Every structure is written in structure tokens, then in C-alpha cells.
Amino acid sequence: AQSVAQPEDQVNVAEGNPLTVKCTYSVSGNPYLFWYVQYPNRGLQFLLKYITGDNLVKGSYGFEAEFNKSQTSFHLKKPSALVSDSALYFCASGTASKLTFGTGTRLQVTL
Amino acid sequence: DTEVTQTPKHLVMGMTNKKSLKCEQHMGHRAMYWYKQKAKKPPELMFVYSYEKLSINESVPSRFSPECPNSSLLNLHLHALQPEDSALYLCASSQEGSKGGELFFGEGSRLTVL
């Protein structure tokens, strides 16, 4: 069974500051891990994924995530937040047809 | 811009109406999906089509009826819905369903059942 947890309902950060959105996973075997972003009244957009290989994964819009096997984490990061990054972020695990989403974290970036 | 197109963007229907949601992708993907999303919640999988055949039905009530006319099109037929079925319905596609490929989502169809 695969599951992911997003411990924070909301993350607030000032523009220009680094941001982190947390995700921990519980999977058997090798995990497939993803981050998706959803802007208001829109569908989800793929940001990045970890399948295998380098633990630091770079994705769209300057986001990156680090796969940490010992801490079973896959936190999403960005060195400098923008107001336009404000959105709902979902961590997910599994194959395409058996994808399990986390509960989502709302990121609010303010001036 | 999304490469998965959903129509209509908004739909209001009564409980006795019959309507359909449509989804189209031209990326050559062989797996297509319907998800239901309530406000501020993660998407919930409803159906998966793989190579134009229904492969997963997540115990969805029969008032929702999916159809995959060809590899590019996916429909969701709606009949005798309940107000609690009001939600954002998302279509998605992927190259295929059994591996770690990402999903490409459409913008969604926002359904209101009166």
C-alpha cells in the first residue's frame, strides 16, 4: 500500500524568501513520488517526480524536491518564492493508474 | 497551456437531466482518467481507461457512466445525479497506466446539481 502525508494545511511565506512544502511517504518497495500544483479553478499541473536516480529532482517554475529515504520525505522547495506561486500543492505517490494524493497544502506568498 | 481539453467548463443540471462531460487529448496517451474533486480536497479517482478499455471503476454509482469512443476521447455521461455530486470533474491522461508516468490534467468541468 502507498500513502503520502502533508502535515501542513497552509504555509505562509514572504516573497523572496525560501519556501518548503512538506511531504512524507509510506510505500512498500521503490516509491514513485510526485508533486502537482493547482491554481484556483484550474486543473492540476505536474511539477516534478522522483522515480529513481539523483535524490535532488528539479522541476518546473524553479521548484525542486529532495528524496530522503531515511526520513521517508519528499519535500518541495524553492529558493525564492513569488506571489504567483500561491496555490494548492499536492504530493502524490504510486503509478499513474493507482495514484494516491496527499491532502494538499495551501501556499500563500505575500509581499 | 493544458493539452487535455474538457468541455463544458461549467454545467448546471437538475436531478432528472441527462448530460455529458467530454475530454479530448492528442498526445497519443493510452490511459485516460476521470477524477472528482470537492473544494479544497484532493482529487478522487473514478475511472481508468487503458487502451480504450475500462480497467478501473472505483465503485462509482451507476448514475455516472464513462465511455471511451477512441484513444483520444473520453466521455462521462451523467443521469439522475444528486446535489452531493456537485464538484469539479477532472479528466487526465498518461502515456500508460502501470508505470511512474505523470498525469496531464484538463482544466476541469465544474458541475452543479440543483
Q: DSSP characters for B58-113? A: -S--TTEEEEEEETTEEEEEEES--GGG-EEEEEEEES-SSSSPPPEE---EEEEE
Low-confidence ranges of chain A (pLDDT < 70): none
Locate A44 and state its grid cell.
492540476
Residue B42 and residue A99: Cβ atoms within 8 Å? no
The answer to whether residue B8 neighbours chain A at the CB level (below 8 Å) is: no
Locate B100 and state its grid cell.
511512474
CB atoms < 10 A from the CB of A45, how many?
18
The answer to whether residue B103 neighbours chain A at the CB level (below 8 Å) is: yes
pLDDT recorded at residue A52 = 87
pLDDT recorded at residue A79 = 97
Residue B98 and residue A97: Cβ atoms within 8 Å? yes
Q: Is B44 a residue whose pLDDT tops 60?
A: yes
Report chain B residues whose CB lies below 8 A from the CB of A51.
100
pLDDT recorded at residue A30 = 83
Instruction: Work out the angle at residue A106's Cα, subtended by the Cα atoms of residues B104 and B83, and round it to the nearest 5 degrees.
Output: 70
Residues A58 and B75: their CA atoms lie apart, in Å, by 35
Structure confidence by residue, pLDDT tens digits, B79-98: 999 999 999 999 999 998 77
CA distance B92 to chain A (A): 9
